[in-house]
Amino acid sequence: MGMTITEKILADHAGRKEVFPGDLIQARVDIALGNDITAPIAIGQFRRIGAREVFDRERVVLVPDHFTPNKDIKSAEQCKVLRDFAREQGIIHYFEGGEIGIEHALLPEQGIVVPGDLVIGADSHTCTYGALGAFATGVGSTDLAAAMVTGEAWFKVPESMKFVYYGKLGEWVSGKDLILYTIGDIGVDGALYRAMEFTGETIRDLSMDSRFALCNMAIEAGAKNGIIAPDEVTEGYVRGRAKRPYRLYRSDEDASYVDVREYDVSRIEPQVAFPHLPENTRGISEVGRIEIDQVVIGSCTNGRIEDLRIAARVLKGNRVAPYVRLIIIPATPLIYHQAMEEGLFEIFLEAKAVISPPTCGPCLGGHMGILAKGERAVATTNRNFVGRMGHPDSEVYLANPAVAAASAVKGYIAHPEEVVKEV
C-alpha cells in the first residue's frame, strides 16, 4: 500500500520508512513559528523549563503581526517580549517595523518555508503553507516551546481526504470560493483531524495566490492540514526565493484515503459565508439584498497581490457607497510596494478606501476596523464567528476580493458584475 503526500513527509521527518494513520510519532521540525499573541506564552514556558538556547536560530521564526503597529500598552508589551527574546537568541527571522507582514504570506514570500518542509506554528492558519507541498499545522504555545528547545514535535498521523476539482473556473471565482464551497459541503468538522489533499485539473491551473487561499482555510473544516502536491507552478514560485534546499513529495497512486470527493467547478459561483460559521455558504445569486457597513480586503487568506489586483479591477472608476468603510490591507511590505508601483493605490484612494499597513488587525477583532453593535461587514478573511471582528452583535460575511469590492461600491453584498458592467 502506498502513502499520501502527508504520510510521506511525516515518515521522512520521523526517520521511518512508512507511517500509517493513527501512528504517534516524534518528528523533526523544519520551521517553528510564533506571533505576538502566542509566542510570549511559549517564551515563558521556554524560560520556565530552564532552556538556554533555541535549537536553531534560523529555524525559529517570530512575527509580531496581529497587533502591529501596536494598538495599546498590552500589545506593545507582548511585542517587546518577542523583540527581547529575538535579540537575546540571535533569531535570524524576526520581523517588525517596515519588514513586518502577515506571517502566512510573509514566510512563503521570503522563502523561509519550502516544499517538503514540516512546519508548526502557534497559529491555526499555519496550514497555509500546504500550498507549497509542505506539511504545516497549527499547535499550542507549549508545543511551540518544546519545539524551540528540541527541534521536534509529536504528531498523530492523520487520515487523508482527497478533494478532486475539475472543469474551468468561472469569472470572479477563485481559490477562496473553492474552499468556501467545500466547507459548505462537508461542514466545519467535516475534515476533523484529517489531511485535506487538494488535486485535479482545476488545482493545476490555479495561481499560487489562490492555492494559498485554498489551503489557508483547511482549518475551518477542522483539518490537521491542507496540502497540494508541488508542480511547475510551485517551483516557479519558490525558485529564487528558497533559502534552503527543498524536496518535492507526491502521493502514490495506490495511497489510501478515508474519503474522496469530486467537484465540477464550472458549477460553482462566487460564494458568501453567512454568520456565524464558514460552513453557512451560499452562491452569490442566492444571497439577496443585505446592506453592509464595512468591507475588509486583506488577511492571510486574501491579502496578496492577485487579490488586490482583482479588487482594483472592480473598484476602478467607482467610489465606496455612502456610510460604508472600505479597508484594504496588503499582506506584506513587498505586496504593499508592488501594489503602489502598479497604481493600485491610486485606484483605492480615488474610490475612498483606507489603505492599512500590513497587519492581521481587524481579522481577529484586534484593531484597524472593529465593528460596533449591529454592524455588518463583508471580509476576505477566514472566520466569521460571533464577535470575531468586534461586538458580539455584529455580523461578518466571508467572500472573495471581487465580491468584497463590489459590495463596498453598492453598499450591500453584490456580484462584481453589478459594478464592472456599469464602468
Q: Tell me: the pLDDT tens digits for 293-303?
A: 999 999 999 99
Q: For the whole prediction, is pTM greater than 0.85?
A: yes
Q: What is the pLDDT of residues 194-247, one digit of tens each?
A: 999 999 999 999 999 999 999 999 999 999 999 999 999 999 999 989 999 999
At residue 63, the pLDDT reads 97
Domain that holds residue 327: 272-420
Contacts of 86 (CB under 8 A, 6+ apart): 62, 94
Same domain, 75 and 199: yes
Rama region for 336: left / alpha / beta (φ>0; ψ in -120 to 50; rest) = alpha
Residues 58 and 186 occupy one common structural domain: yes
Do 256 and 369 fall into the same domain? Answer: no
What CATH code is carried by the domain that includes residue 387? 3.30.499.10
Q: Are residues 338 and 389 in the same domain?
A: yes
User: Are residues 107 and 240 both part of a single domain?
Assistant: yes
* Together in a domain, 304 and 330: yes
Same domain, 204 and 290: no
Final residue of a structural domain among 263, 286, 308: 263
- Grouping H, G, I as helix, E, B as strand and the rest as coil, residue 267 is helix
pLDDT tens-digit profile of 61-92?
Answer: 999 999 988 999 999 999 999 999 999 999 99
Sign of the alpha-carbon dihedral angle for 44, 144, 76, 389: negative
Q: Which of 221, 239, 263 is the last residue of a domain?
A: 263
The confidence score (pLDDT) of residue 395 equals 97
The pLDDT, as a whole number, for residue 68 is: 85
Distance of CA 155 to the CA centre of its chain: 22
Q: Give the model confidence (pLDDT) of 166-179 as tens digits.
A: 999 999 999 999 99
- Residue corresponding to grid cell 468584497: 404
Q: Are residues 296 and 330 in the same domain?
A: yes
Domain count, the chain: 2
Asked if 184 and 288 sit in the same domain, the reply is no
Neighbours of 168 (CB within 10 A): 11
Distance in angstroms (rounded) separating the CA atoms of residues 232 and 149: 36
Residue 423 in this model has a pLDDT that exceeds 70: no
- Note whether 194 and 283 are same-domain residues: no
